[in-house]
Structures are given as structure tokens and as C-alpha cells.
Structure 1
Amino acid sequence: MKKRYYLKYLFLITALLFSFSQRSLAQSVVASGYNFTASSRTFSYLSSGTRVTAVEVDDGYTTIPIGFTFRFCGANYTDVTVCSNGWLRFGTGVGSAVPNWNYNATPNSGIEPAVYALYEDISGVGGTSTYVTTGTAPNRIFTWECRNYLWDYAASTPSVSFQVLLYEATGVVECIYKQESGSVSLGSSGGATIGIGKSSTDWQVLNNVSSNPTSSSSTYTANLSSVPATGQSYAWDPGAPCASPSGLATTLVNSTHVDFSWNAAAASVGYEYVIDQNSAAPTSSANVVTTTSTSASASALQPSSLYYIHLRNQCGTNNYSQWVTISFNTLPPCVIGAPGIQIPQIDSNSATVTWPTVSTSIEYEYIVKTDNTPPSSGSSGTTTTTNQVNLTSLQSGKTYYIFLRVKCSGNDSSAWIVDSVYVPIPCRAPNVEFNDLSSNRVVTFWSAPLTAYEYEIINSSTPISNPTSGIKTTSTSRLFSFLDEATEYYVYARSYCEDKTIKTVSKWSTTTYTTWKLGVDNISGQVNQLFISPNPVHDRVIVMVDAVDHDGKISIMDMTGKLLRLQTVDSKRIIIDVNDLAQGLYIVQYTDRNNTLKAKVYKQ
């Protein structure tokens, strides 16, 4: 008893191992990759099911449900179209089949993907057709039966019955036959084809109807002329399903690029992926990319667009898993849009630079140079998170090139864009001096500052805190007459400049003078007047005295009376260097044996 038990146990283990080894083959997605087996079984007519009267005729077809999802050559189907001419097509309709759907002489009939159970111009007249789905998920079996069919349509008595079985768990396609009482009458039909086909170029067909035929994917047989033996079974097995990859996810997405990865799948020899804008799984090899890695990337995508990543595992030649699909959206364009770089403000040593904001920006990067050579993509510059930067310490009279790019989410960055800015030479106010001063007139004059083309001047007997407008002139001198004697006047002047189309206006300069007093003293020309120009002063001050004595002296003191400068006067016009004096208010004093004259001057 122990020996018998051991042998029985050993047989069971061997059978299971054999079954496992057979199913461990990767599932084929091509008909030529299916594994063919021939065996002998008991043929039993269906005892129940749904009649298919549409094929109980000559040249009829109809679509019927499988009852579950069946996978054939890598695609899933829930319906089949069956025909009285001995074929079962996966899906609805007859495809691109030729008229009568019985043209099996070549594999170009157009009914594929299909099972050629007995593909010939047979007829269901006088016979019956039934289908049924049995079992429970995931082990259901679909059976389509044709009983007592004529071979061919001109025969008088039925010669064949056959069944097509589709196995949910394994994807196996099986055809079983029974010889009936009649005989085969080929007539002009030429014979039958038995096998499976995915397309006109991918198929397997039998070379005969023996118990051990060859199922060939290179030689197409269309002249079988006898019914297989009763109980003869022909089966095509796609092999065990190829495991789909798991964990497919994007790891980086930007406006034009995606990185993605997945977990390694069992029994993998590689992977195929497609990135497109179609939610349906790919049906052709177009745009398929192969890899042995578990990560990949794609570039040159369109911004703000919906894409799909389709991925499948390859377990062997022509053996693939089902497609796994995820979707993702690319980000908006990482680009600085119109109007690009703007320079709303510029002066002689600074400029304000602005640009449009980018919604996905992390930061902006800019480089300022005096040459227009573009930076490389790997160059680095100054970064900012705002869309404005104030450039300082610029040199007047130079052109600067501003290169700008934006860095966005997803490690994305734009190309460098560029604009230039010319820093104008400063627009200086006129340094007004005076000539021909008398009791009722004065001539103002000045040297033209660089880039100045026009001037504005005000002569006022009262100080003006905020000058607004005056007399415009393109000359560098101006006569003011009909003045009041012995009156202090304030002269305000500014320049209008243009440097390479950049127009600027200087600040107002301020200078004072006092007209002479008209009286008996001026008959001899000895009028005691002190005139300071300019006022305020930058680096040198001009002091004019209308009557100079031989012992006259000019002194400059601070507001406490401390003496800072002392100079002998030898002419009516004296120039004194005050460049080293600090900013502030000072007293200028002229003294001789007869006079003491004072005036205030502001050092800028």
C-alpha cells in the first residue's frame, strides 16, 4: 500500500510540474507564437445553450457574446462573430472579408483575428448551431458548436460537427471534431483551412487532419479535404500570461519633458513603452521604444498637453504582458513671454529691468555684460524670485547686454533671452556765470554740458523752492535787462540732453548775483559789490568784486567764523578751489582798507 501511495503521489507531482512547466511559457501576442498540441478527446454534443440560427444557413454570420473577457494575441475581446463557413472572428463584424466570407484560398481573406475551425464553403443548412459559457470566473469556458454541417454547401448529407472552445484562465483556443454519416463533397470549393490567425501575415494552419499534424506559420494550407477523426482535438496555447509591470509613475514632469519609472516585472527580458496622446493601448509597433531599464524619459513634448504612457513587459520573443497606462499633463511653457525684457527707467548709472511673470517659475536668472556673446546653458548668473531687478553702478556712455532666463518646476528652464541698454552720459545743469553786470542788466553765460541741446533759465528777484518752468533757449548765454538796482537775483538753470536717442533733463542749478547800487559813488566806478558764482558750488567758486583796492583780500570761513582760506585780490575776478571743503554753508568775505563785503555760498 505504501508503494502504491508513493507511486500515486509521484505521478501527481510529475503531472503538476509538467503542467506548470507548460504554463510558465510567456503568453504570446502573435498567432505564430502559440504552442500547438494535438490530442484525442471525447466529443460530446452540447446539451444546452443558445441557438445561433443566423449560421444555420449557407453563408450566414452573426455576433455573439463570449461571457467573459478573452485575450487573443495580446488583445482583449468580449464578443465573437461566428460564420456558417466554419470560422470564428474575435470582435464584431466580418472585418474586411471578401464576399461570402468563404475565401480561404489565401490568408488575405480579411476575417482575422480569427479561429479557422473548418474554414471552407461549408453550410449550416439542416444543421444546428449553439453556444454556451460554463464554469465560474476565472475558469470559464466558452463553447460554440456547429452540428451536422454540410461539406461543402452542395453536399446532400451532413459530414461534420465541430466545437470551438475558448478557455478564460489560459487563453487556449481548442477545436474538437466529430465525423457524421455523410461524406465530404468538395465541388469547386477547393478544400478547408484549420488554424488560427491574427492578420494576413501572422497565422498558424495545419498541413493535414491527422492525429499529429504540423501547425505551420510559413506554409498556408487551404486544401484539407477530410474530416478529422471523432474526438480529435487541436489546441493553440499562448503560454502563461506575461506579468505586467507595476508601480508605473512619473518622477519628473515639466513643460516638454517627462521622467518615469516602474517596478521590475517577473520573467522580464525587457520592456516596451509608447508615449502618445491616445488613451487606448497601442495596436501597432509605431513609436514603440524598447529598454531593459526600469526607468525612461521623453522630451520634445508639447506644453500644457495631456499625454499617456503605455508600458508592457516582454517575457520572450513575441511574448508580452498587457499594456499598463497612466496619464500626465505637461506644465505650461517655461518661457518669458512678450513683451520680454523691458527697461522702464534708466539714468546715468542705473537702470530698472522688468519682464512678464511666468506662472510655473521658481526663480529668474540674469547676467549683465558689456558684450553680446550669449551665455551657455550651463552658465550661472544672479537669481531673483521677482520679475524686476535694479541694476546699479553702471558706467555712463556704455552699452550693457542683459541676458535673462526663467527656471521652472520640474527642473525646467527657458533659453536665454537678451536685450541691451545704453547708459546715457549724465545730463548736467549749466554752470552759470555772469558778465557785464550793472545796476539794471546782466549777461548770463555757461559752457555747454555734454549731450545738452537746450536749456531752461529763470531769473528771479525772490528765491524759488521748486522751479517749474522758465525761458527755453538753445544759446549758451542770456541777457537780462531792466533789472532793479542793488537787488539780489536768483538764477535757476537746467539742461535738456539727448544721448543716442535717450532724452534726459538735469536738475536745476542755482546761482545768485546782486545788481549795482546806482548813486554818486558809481561816477568814479567805485561801487562796492561782491558777486559769487556758481552758488551752490561743486569744486571751484568764482568771486567778482566791482572795485578792487590794492590791499584787498578774500577769505572763506565756516559759519562759526573759522578761517579756512585767505587769498590776496589782484583782479576783479578771482577763482578759488573749494574741492576739499565738506558739504555745507560757508561765508565768503572781501576786505580792503575801505570795505568789508560778505556773501554766503553753499558747497555741494
Structure 2
Amino acid sequence: MKLNKYINFKNTLVLSVLTIFAGFSASAQYCTPTFATGCGTGGSIQSVSSTGGISNITNNNTGCGNSTTSYSDYTGTSEKILQDALKTVDLKVTYSSSAPAASSALTRVYIDWNQNGVFEPNASPSEYAAPSVTSQHVHTAPGTSITVKITIPGQAKQGVTRMRVILGSLGSIYDPNVNPCGGTSNYGEAEDYNFEVINPCVPPNVVSTSNIDFKSVDIAWTPKLNAKLYEYLVKRDSTTPADTLNGFSYTTTPGVDIDTLACDMKYYVFVRVICDSAGISKYWDKSAWIKDSFTTQPCCYDPQLTYSELTSTTCKVKWTPIQTAYGYEYAVSTLPDPPQQGTYTTNTTIFLQGLPSRTTFFVHVRSRCSPTPLSGWSKISFKTLGPLSVNAVSQEDPFTMDVYPNPIQDVLTVQLNGSIDENAMLTVMDLTGKVVYTAPVSSEKVSVDVSNFANGVYVVKYTDDTHNEVMKVTKQ
């Protein structure tokens, strides 16, 4: 069962954006780390350097950079790491201690990948560059160095963000509770650096379509790790929307199922990535559009019905063949509502016999096709003619008149059963006696166009030199 996802996601989007940015303030500030003693009389960061980046940090032999706060902010300097998403940088940190008691320390490194002003170790992806085991980042003595491997996640936001290097010691043992804001350390130091991520907002590599039928399609595209949302549009013309246009349809998943399409129609699907949905939508960080196309399966058209050879007990119903049909279903009823199913036939004509006279029947027909399974039901109605009475049969010139359908909409049919005499005329009048139609009659069956008649009751009158027949009909 396909789910209709070809809908307007604007309301959903608003809720999503509010959820994503709830609690985030543009004025959010990084915490300032604190220590009981700090680096003035104890353990400090001697050097920080990196390798493997497009540009790297080389900040050696700084020792305790600020003995008052034990915190140094190097984000305003040229010391910066620059690297692409999904690549790895090695960060080397060397420990120094002027206090013999501070013989062991733990270094931890945090990077604010989502640039929200908070270091979040439990975020996804984590903003803590964790080792496989804690001991890998433990300095066992002053002068020792550890290497922190930093792999930039695919979800990292493009641009300059902050990296914090923090070291903590309880003295003879390292501080296991070191966190971005300090922890319980007696001794230690923190340093902040700029970390520039190259992770541009680019469209999906591939858009594909599958499970195409006469009204639906599954659309999928390659996911992008830095996508906040995907915007998509399905339409019949191939013109790529302008980059400045937005507000089509959105989803957080790399694909949608659509079941509101027309049969036998070529469609174009456009998809782009929204990498940053902060602020006004026209200023979002968006990729270019990527385009694909598909064509829905051929239509299974409704048959067009006509009838002829109408008598008091029989009628022939036929329809034009449907090119994609391999068969048809039909049903005959005195009710106008279409049936659940009908009788199968490969013919395009059915001859109905044994029908009650003066009865309105409805014939329903639909096409069976491949690959599109079924058309809708087509419907036509007729009223069987009146029977000849016993007295009429015994007469030399039995004569009756039937009019149908009743009520009428567009065409009134008058059937004359018997011999037409000289000066035959057919007249239609409204109830005020106003003649709205009159014409001579030369055949047993006359069709009158009543499409322009006002709704109401009309009198149909036939006269010739020997006959006078009158009936009432209702125009709807």
C-alpha cells in the first residue's frame, strides 16, 4: 500500500524547525572552564599541534597561558585547523607540570560540530573526540604527549566552529570527570581554537524512481549526512525552479511515495538539500536542484456507451474498444449506483433480452487493462417500450407512443409504434401551453434536443390524420 506523501509539508516544517531550534539562542555563549588550582601552580598544556589538515595548528611551548583563569582563547589568532568532512586530523597535546604532585593528567578534546554554542558529548554525532579506551588520552608523567584522532563527521556544519582542548589532574592521578567546563580538577588548563569544516551543501548524487504504476511512484535519492531537510517538487514541465524559490514540499527522509498522479503522463522530479534551516527560509543554506523524470503507466479509459434496437423487452448496448483493454465487465440493474463487480466479456456489444416493459435500466461497463488494472464505471440508461395490449393486437393498425428517458436531460427520444399517417406532427409544450418545439414526423423514432429547455414538466403530443398521443416528461 502506497502512502500519499505528495502533500504540503509547510505546517510540518514549521513544527520541525521550532523543535530543532527550541532552546537555542543566537546569544548562546560557550562555558568558561574553571579549576580549583589551575595551571599557575600545577599541570598545564605545554604544546598543541596538528597534522593531516589542509591547514594545521602549531602552538608549541606556551606553558600556562593564563595563570589567573587557566584558560586561553586562541580563536582570534592564526592558529586554525581546516579540513574536509569525513577526513581525519591528528592533534598532539603535550603535558607540562611545575607541581611534583600533579604527575598524571587526562586530555579531552571537544568540537562544536553543529555550531550551536555548546559542547555536547552526547549529541549525534558526538562532539567529544573520544579514544577507544581512556588510557590512550592519559598523560602518565609531565612531558608526555598523547595524540587525539579527530574525524570530521559528515553531519558537521560547514564553516568555522570552536575546538576546546582541556586537561585535568587530581594530582597523582588524572581527573576522570574532565568535561568542557572543567570538572573536578585541582590542576589543569583549557585552550580554544578555531576549527573550519569544509562540508558544502550539495544535491543528492542520484535520484531514482521505482514501483511506477498508473497513478503512483516511489522516489528515492542518496542521503546527505549534513541535510537538515530535503525539498522536492514533482511537476509536468522540465523547467528547473529558481534557486530563490522555496516552500514546495519537505521531508526529513531520503525518499517519498506519491499516489496522486495522472496516468500516461511524463513527470519531472526535482530534489535539493537544506543544510541549514535557521532563520527565514529564503536565506537557508540550500544545494542546487537535481532532476529526474519518469512516465506513469498507460491509462485504462472508461468505455463510451450507446444503445440501439430498443423494444419493450430487448435492447442492444455497445461501446468503442479501448486500446489497452483485454476485456470488460458489465452489469445491468434498475439502480443507478455502480456495482462492486460485473460479468466478464471480451465483446464490445451485449444484447439484452427478456426485459420488463416500461422499465428504466442502467447498464454499467468498465474496462480491464494491463498494466493498469481497471477503469472507472461508465453508465447509460434506457427505458423499455410499452407492450401492445391484447385489444391493440387485434386491431388492424395498433399504435402507441413511448418517450424516454424520463426524466430527461439533453436528448428526448420519441418512439412511435405503429403506422404513421399523413400530416404527422410532434409538438412539445410547457404547462402554460407555450409551444417550445414542433416539427413534422417522417420516421418512427425522433430525437429532440432539449438541452436548452428550462427545467420543469413538458407535454409531448403526437398527431396525424388518424392518431393522437399525449405524454408528460420532466426536464432536469
TM-score normalised over the length of structure 1:
0.40
Find the structure with the greater CA-based Rg. Answer: 1
TM-score normalised over the length of structure 2:
0.48
